[in-house]
Chains A and B, each alone.
Chain A
């Protein structure tokens, strides 16, 4: 009995490994292939016989992308939009998450559900009016305007995620701090936020990745090179040239590099926050 049990456990362990390695391969194969493509010469990409391992390597695609397509400006615009979005969420969302986590008040549940549901509003329904409104107030085609638009779906997410991290800090800690001589404000900054700092970091990274990646709002709300972000720029390259695969691949690799790095660093806290937010609801 024990022997068959341990043998069947071994069998399932082997199956699990096969499944996991297979899925990991499927998950990263497109990234690896794109990376390999970005290192190939154009004629090696469009060759008749497929080159699985590049026969020769070049950084020409990266150089061309950087010097000719205005990619640096796109990246800088994206950085500005991402930073502004994170700052807006930090300034307005941190205190809101704190209030939801710490206080009981009339309408709390309704307001929290409201924050949950606005995330589910159709993007298209908001983009069209946002386009008109932004044009009226002169924020259309500006990085600030785009960042403000991003808070429409990222701020509620930020609040929900961060609330989960604040909830993990016991309420007695604030009581202790207030008896020790701080105000509620002091307890928040000196005791609770330091405890939740990993969660705060993970939440910020998640919002940053989402803002960095966003395509649809950026496509609609920016119209010129001055404020265009990299996803839009990359997509427009498809039209401008005859499918410049090498450059597209290079652009893709450069753009996902920060995402991969950030994800790898804070993935544990971020995963915890994401699932907590979705499950607790």
Chain B
């Protein structure tokens, strides 16, 4: 069979010699290619993450108050860290962070698990319901916050109205103005916003459990709750742990929702660490102390990040 004859390698035309695409193509056949592909993003990450983080860390050892230029920007050693030890707001923030993170995650996990189990039955129409259930996770914090602030408003909140109508409440309640309910209300909003994250991951995990296991359990006579306890949850262990760690990091990290809902108030009842660091920087303009607070958060978070990396490494094996 005589096919189209081609000479090897094809002769180069003049255009080939100066064609930039061809030149990059030739470069791609060298062993430096992969490094060339990585350089742009690595440079960008260095510029916007690594450098600022190091800068922030050294800032925590300096005096840096934008509203007090007279103090200069000299080194102060561990001064900010020492102040933290005796700063009652820091300790309150730390405690609030723990409450905020654990309660929100417990609630998100529970709702997320139930939603995932129900969705995993693949009933007709569950695709549409899944889209609706997952939607809150993709909505902006600002809008989520305002929606709930509107519904929980002490004068015109629809939730107040409903609760009064069914007799659970005597009168309208100012949920975010009462120190005893502010944190709980914020946790409800947060749970609404982020439970779909658990649904997403658990659903993916459920799809990976071989259905033979359930058939075998059926034959062995295990009921639905026994199957959940003995098959589903153990099989999902890694994925749940990964999801929890990622949420911990997300919750410790971002003060957005609390900033919008309560700004840490009333009093200090919803003051969390990230919010405190944030306000120290942009209300008090004390960048040095804010830097020290962030470094503490950084160390906390890297502990969880380490746990996550370990977990996913175990996964690879």
Contact = CB atoms under 8 A, between A and B. Distances in A.
Q: Do chains A and B touch in the complex (CB under 8 A)?
A: yes
Contacts of A252: 142-143, 146-147
B121 A129 contact: no
Nearest to B297: A122
A19 B118 contact: yes
A33 B135 contact: no
Interface residues of B, number: 106
A237 B274 CA distance: 24
Interface in B17-40: 21, 24-29, 33-35, 37-38, 40
A248 B150 contact: yes
A16 B156 contact: no
Nearest to B294: A125
A28 B132 contact: yes
A199 interface: no
Contacts of A215: 140-142, 256, 260
Contact of A259 (B50, B140, B315): B140
Contact of B294 (A105, A122, A231): A122
B291 to A, nearest CB: 6
A69 to B, nearest CB: 14
A281 B290 contact: no
Contacts of A121: 49, 53, 298, 301
A132 interface: yes
A168 interface: no
A263 B138 contact: yes
A275 B56 contact: no
B59 A27 contact: no
B312 A133 contact: no
Interface in A1-46: 5, 8, 12-13, 15-17, 19-21, 23-24, 26-28, 30-31, 33-34, 37, 45-46
A128 B291 contact: yes
A278 B309 contact: no
A-side interface size class: 35 or more
A203 to B, nearest CB: 14
B148 A30 contact: yes
Interface in A113-154: 113, 115-118, 120-130, 132-133, 148-149, 151-152
B302 interface: yes
Given A30-B151, A252-B146, A155 B260 contact: no
A129 B56 contact: yes
A98 interface: yes
Interface of B: 21, 24-29, 33-35, 37-38, 40-42, 44-45, 47-53, 55-57, 59, 111, 114-115, 117-119, 121, 123, 126, 129, 131-136, 138-144, 146-148, 150-151, 153, 155-156, 158, 161, 192, 196, 200-201, 203-205, 218, 224, 238-239, 242-243, 246, 249, 252-256, 259-260, 274, 277-278, 281-282, 287, 290-291, 293-295, 297-298, 301-302, 304-305, 308-309, 311-313, 315
24 contacts: A5-B218, A13-B123, A16-B121, A20-B119, A23-B133, A30-B147, A34-B150, A46-B155, A95-B40, A105-B35, A121-B49, A124-B274, A125-B57, A125-B277, A128-B56, A129-B56, A148-B48, A151-B48, A152-B48, A155-B41, A184-B28, A185-B24, A213-B139, A271-B134
